Structure 1
């Protein structure tokens, strides 16, 4: 050490266990202030630079980004420094959590490829290879935005999307990964551009008020969900009456036996194969206590048909 008590860049690097290049990088970023320069123009550092460099190295060892390290070091006072540290650590924890979720999806995808029969592998590879890890829900959201009536207000659309778009589980089972891959393939199928594959509107016959319909259906599905969770299928009264009333109010009609007969026919008009397939794949991606709207809609439609026409012989 020079007689002035300052450290050269090489001495500082050696004591901290880093390279000279690393010390120079932090110095150039302003994270490691110099105490001065030698007569030959070489950098010199004070004794406090060693503790500061070790602190920086500890933060970087946890992969905290350099800008976050800068904010921690630039904070004035212990309270501000502590707050900056908490924010940096919290952000890094979120990043690590996202990386772990991605790794779980990749691991499960690889297991699906390893454990399937050889004849199934090409299709699985195609499905899984098209799915990001972890998958996002952008394609599912686009699918539903195209299927929903154009006149729905944004808050209603958001409520519907929250209810119909399943969130990718953080610790997926193999069946969930495969279901999500198939669901993604379904909603991105080019055949959806063809009318016979595209899901039809909820009320194709005549004018109706979409907001009234979707708000009423939300209430009906809530009642039906409570009945299903209690082990009962929707039946006369309760959720079924609310379900029919939503359609009647949306069309500006009264809930009469004649309307119920016509509603059975209206509900049967959409013969697109997409939505039944969607709900079958999505069912296992919702939480056990989370209502699957497609299944609830099916239960209520069946209950209405049985009420109007009786059981099929």
Structure 2
């Protein structure tokens, strides 16, 4: 029968990261007694006892009470249990340090006051329920009295931050900024004003109805992504894949208005894509000259932060989309079974 290897107190101290006097103290206190005492009266420790000493050191560094440590180690735990507990502690330290780093970065960037530092700490320490309540309160205020089609605000409310159990520093920083914004009455007013201006006008109300929103957020997005995938793959806009994807997107878009996809409609939509960059430059110039709330500073900022928190890709820069390529794919039409355009 094999016997476990035993180490003298000096080796046990080095392996556990404690001093010899600390090892003696924990033995005398009944926290981690030596595995055995040899004939010369020297205390000897096996690997299990050393693992306990290392766990004790970690717990003490976390200011864990000695009685709590004694209760933990008095339960006859195995080496596996000790290592599992040790891992959980280290991971907890990592999460705490990550949160502190996010707070410190934000404080340095903002030049915050002591009161703001306390607020940031509270924001990071919020529970999942408190985060949900903060977002709900924001959309309740934004949607109050907003003259938009029924269900529009509820759809916006579903695009919400979900902080993962082990967030990165960037996700924590984004949450700190978002939590600060959703609690700011001025930001709420700005988002409400933007949504009112963008969707309350008669000519724009259709964009906020359920069919259009379903197309934008559910069916239309994947169809456009399928088309853009062909572009990223380096395919010609006249390739069968690109033309088929463009046709599927156009059919879904025209179905909203209850109109068939005719060659004339296809041509108008192709021309529209060619004019998009110019239209966007005009919109940007109008927004720069206007004092009214704009997308990037209001709802767009909210969505960008939610994307960072959720670890999802933010919306692509609309100015970088290949509009001329899309227009050619739209104009080409879906290939017929024989391979030629219909």
Q: If the TM-score is normalised by the length of the shorter chain, which range does it land in?
A: 0.3 to 0.5
Compute the TM-score of the two structures, normalised by the length of structure 2: 0.43
Structure of greater relative contact order (alpha carbons < 8 Å, 6+ residues apart): 2
